[in-house]
Amino acid sequence: MTIIFENARLGLGVEEKKINSGDQEELVLDGGFLVPETNSFGHTFRDYNAESERQESVEEFYHIQHIHQSVDFVKKMRAEYGSLNRVEMSIWECCELLNEFRDESDPDLDEPQIEHLLQTAEAIRKDYPNEDWLHLTGLIHDLGKVLLHHSFGALPQWAVVGDTFPVGCAFDESIIHHKYFKGNPDYNNPAYNTKLGIYSKGCGLDNVLMSWGHDDYMYLVAKESKTTLPSAALFIIRYHSFYPLHKSGAYTHLMNEDDKENLKWLHIFNKYDLYSKSKIRIDVEKVKPYYLSLIEKVKN
């Protein structure tokens, strides 16, 4: 029996407020999720200028990424990987495969990727116990990072991870380390360097080429497999690294009404994706049966 999660439209306001917890001041997220004010390195989250052991390597990552993520490159990658003829493996096998990798673009965490997947999913599960589709989305949202593995082509990190952004129009200045786009072949191309570029106002993000990486790849996998997850889940998968949109409000002129509705879910998801990162390990064997049951739901 196929389980179809309905794309319910709910009031999704997320409240942030300050509370005092001993000597530590924390943010509280609607549902009870405590949002730490510093990451596991003692810095504020997504602080790309903080001096840390990862600051220099993260900046160099974005330097390379911004030079190479062009319209031609994205089209080439979508053509090469869109056929989905690389490897067939289960969702849980993909999760375990990610144990081998750490995200070089992430200034907030240096733990294996499976830890991040489970931290995200478990935090969501605690606050939204009835939204099992969102739990599963938390588990699978980063599975496209298998592109780093040799079975999937061993793509370089700059072609797999990091913040995403549209190509085919001007690179918004809210994109982290924007200065490095000057080396991108599209930067001075008049067909691509205006606000709309090759797009039209309100065209819908489905019609926009995004920088290539794990987000777009996993989106293609889910879409082509005819998943029964709701459209909000696909939106989260494709745009969860699109920080210029959901953090800075850039590129909203390209959105249609469906995008605006799904963005509400992405704003909720992002809190867990970003702030659940920590050195606290999840007991994988304890939670594994629950997530295997969710996987079976969408398969049957």
pLDDT, tens only, 130-147? 999 999 999 999 999 999
Q: Is 72 annotated as a binding residue?
A: no
pLDDT tens for 231-242 read: 999 999 999 999
Buried b (16+ CB within 10 A) or exposed e, 277-288: bbeeebeeeeee
Q: Is 116 annotated as a binding residue?
A: yes
d(CA 187, CA 74): 15
**Residue-level pLDDT at 286:** 94
Number of H helices, E strands in the chain: 10, 3
Q: Is 248 annotated as a binding residue?
A: no
pLDDT tens for 71-106 read: 999 999 999 999 888 888 999 999 989 888 776 665
Q: Is 110 annotated as a binding residue?
A: no
Dig out the tokens for 80 from the structure: 């090469």
- What pLDDT band is residue 287 in, cutting at 50, 70 and 90? very high
Q: Is 211 annotated as a binding residue?
A: no
Dig out the tokens for 173 from the structure: 């200045």
Would you tell me how many other CB atoms lie within 10 Å of the CB of residue 44?
Answer: 12
Are 103 and 268 in contact by the 8 Å Cβ rule? The answer is: no
Domain chopping of the chain, boundaries: 2-6+40-297
- What pLDDT band is residue 215 in, cutting at 50, 70 and 90? very high
Q: Is 103 annotated as a binding residue?
A: yes
**Residue-level pLDDT at 6:** 30
Are 34 and 26 in contact by the 8 Å Cβ rule? The answer is: yes
d(CA 114, CA 99): 6
Query: Does residue 15 register a pLDDT over 80?
Result: no
Would you tell me how many other CB atoms lie within 10 Å of the CB of residue 114?
Answer: 21
Query: Does residue 38 register a pLDDT over 60?
Result: no
Pick the closest to residue 160 from 86, 229, 222, 98 (CA basis).
Answer: 98
Q: Is 104 annotated as a binding residue?
A: yes
Q: Is 273 annotated as a binding residue?
A: yes
Cα angle 100, 105, 109; round to 5: 65
Q: Please, where are the H alpha helices in 128-167?
A: 132-140
d(CA 242, CA 216): 11
Buried b (16+ CB within 10 A) or exposed e, 47-84: ebeeebebbeebeebbebbbbebbbebbeebbeebeee
**Residue-level pLDDT at 116:** 84
Q: Please, where are the H alpha helices in 82-206?
A: 91-97, 113-127, 132-140
d(CA 111, CA 101): 9
Q: Is 204 annotated as a binding residue?
A: no
Q: Is 214 annotated as a binding residue?
A: yes
Q: Is 142 annotated as a binding residue?
A: yes
Q: Is 111 annotated as a binding residue?
A: no
The larger pLDDT score, comparing residue 3 to residue 218, is at: 218
The larger pLDDT score, comparing residue 271 to residue 217, is at: 217
Q: Is 68 annotated as a binding residue?
A: no
The larger pLDDT score, comparing residue 296 to residue 178, is at: 178
**Mean of pLDDT over the chain:** 82
Q: Is 21 annotated as a binding residue?
A: no
Give residues with Cβ within 8 angstroms of 105, minimum separation 6.
58, 61, 62, 65, 157, 158, 161, 162, 163
Pick the closest to residue 48 from 155, 180, 143, 160 (CA basis).
Answer: 180
Query: Does residue 18 register a pLDDT over 60?
Result: no
